[in-house]
Structure 1
């Protein structure tokens, strides 16, 4: 299974931030955009530009979700009761690929999408190969028996780069995770500041 380093690093450089908190990110050495004019692009952003950047950063963090899919998640969040920004984060964190990444079954969110697509994951005993599948509290997610010894999985489990958040109960010896609750925005361990309120402003213009 290939790792899409170029895509991750391109996103990091475009945002000017190490959005996944990875030690090998090029932003750690070069905090400017890609291309020959990257160092000169430091103009002040308009309100629209700030909102657009917040949307691109959040969308990129979850594996560069397509615009159509991301907008649908926003529409669903806006229809729910409560704060739309909180609802948006809750729906993004319920995506199966996000849960797989949070549980440290894979090293990146891009690998998580591919891992689910290739049929390596079961939810409540049934194979699910849709990365955008919405997990519910109480669902048990597990790595398929044949996939538990894959180098990708073993590398991710042993990585000290990030911790498993407390809204997941993970047993790495069995490669299972129970989704205990939908997290609030403050519960999600983003390495950089995310601003879902600006994303809401962007779509509600």
Structure 2
């Protein structure tokens, strides 16, 4: 399954960075890996560094290994730089769009909204979180979706500031994609070249 149900803060500590799509909590107080030897600084191997960057993408966007491999193959066939195209494809997922628009506190919560048909894409009810949104696409919430407590709270105080590639209308509670996401707008630090190098010898 795509949905991660384990300890989210523990994952963030292991990866050494806050992942807003995974959790609203941040490992600021204990910004070292979990475990009794977590505070001891260890030099990571090249493989370890590349794996860590890949895992950041997997956990933040809530995708399976098979899904990210498929997206990497598609990005590799693009004329654009592979890493930048990969980030653009991940940011263009419907569940991420719902999260970045401020309808849900995390990507995982956004996936649940979509799966339960609380999200309308261009006026049509959808339940596939991996749908790729394009410029001009608009999302709104169903009547029941607007009453969900976590959604109401998130609309009042979004987890992140909304990116420039979407416009939000508070009167209609809708968001529209204005342009394709840019790799520089990913909301957490990522060395995407490490991800490219990780898959370059595996796919």
> Is the TM-score greater than 0.5?
yes
Question: How far, CA to CA, are the matches of 1:173 and 1:35 in structure 2?
Answer: 48
Question: How far, CA to CA, are the matches of 1:157 and 1:204 in structure 2?
Answer: 40
Question: How far, CA to CA, are the matches of 1:197 and 1:181 in structure 2?
Answer: 24
SS in 2 for 1:55: helix
Q: Which residue number corresponds to residue 181 of structure 2? A: 183
Pairwise CA RMSD: 1.9
Q: Which residue number corresponds to residue 38 of structure 2? A: 38
Question: How far, CA to CA, are the matches of 1:174 and 1:149 in structure 2?
Answer: 14
1:93 to 67, 87, 91: 91
Question: How far, CA to CA, are the matches of 1:172 and 1:196 in structure 2?
Answer: 34
Q: Which residue number corresponds to residue 48 of structure 2? A: 49
**Contact persistence 2:102–2:155 (CA under 8 A):** yes
Runs of 4+ in 1 over 4 A off after TM superposition: none
- The TM-score with structure 2 as length reference comes to 0.89
Structure 1 unpaired stretches of 5+: none
Q: Which residue number corresponds to residue 20 of structure 2? A: 20
How far 1:28 sits from its partner (Å)?
Answer: 1.0
Change (3 A) 1:154 1:182: same
SS in 2 for 1:36: coil
Question: How far, CA to CA, are the matches of 2:192 and 2:32 in structure 1?
Answer: 24
**Contact persistence 2:135–2:177 (CA under 8 A):** yes
Change (3 A) 1:86 1:152: same
1:204 to 186, 200, 203: 200
Count of residues in Structure 1 that have an aligned counterpart in Structure 2: 197
- Give the alignment of 1:112-131 within 5 angstroms: 112-131=110-129
Question: How far, CA to CA, are the matches of 1:77 and 1:123 in structure 2?
Answer: 25
How far 1:180 sits from its partner (Å)?
Answer: 1.3
**Contact persistence 2:102–2:158 (CA under 8 A):** no
Structure 2 unpaired stretches of 5+: none
Q: Which residue number corresponds to residue 162 of structure 2? A: 164
How far 1:6 sits from its partner (Å)?
Answer: 5.4
Is 1:11 matched up with 2:50? no
**Contact persistence 1:165–1:189 (CA under 8 A):** no
- The TM-score with structure 1 as length reference comes to 0.88
Question: How far, CA to CA, are the matches of 1:153 and 1:67 in structure 2?
Answer: 29
Question: How far, CA to CA, are the matches of 1:152 and 1:160 in structure 2?
Answer: 11
How far 1:115 sits from its partner (Å)?
Answer: 1.0
- Could you give the per-residue CA deviations for residues 145-170 of structure 1, whole angstroms, max 9, x where no partner exists? 22112211111111154211111011
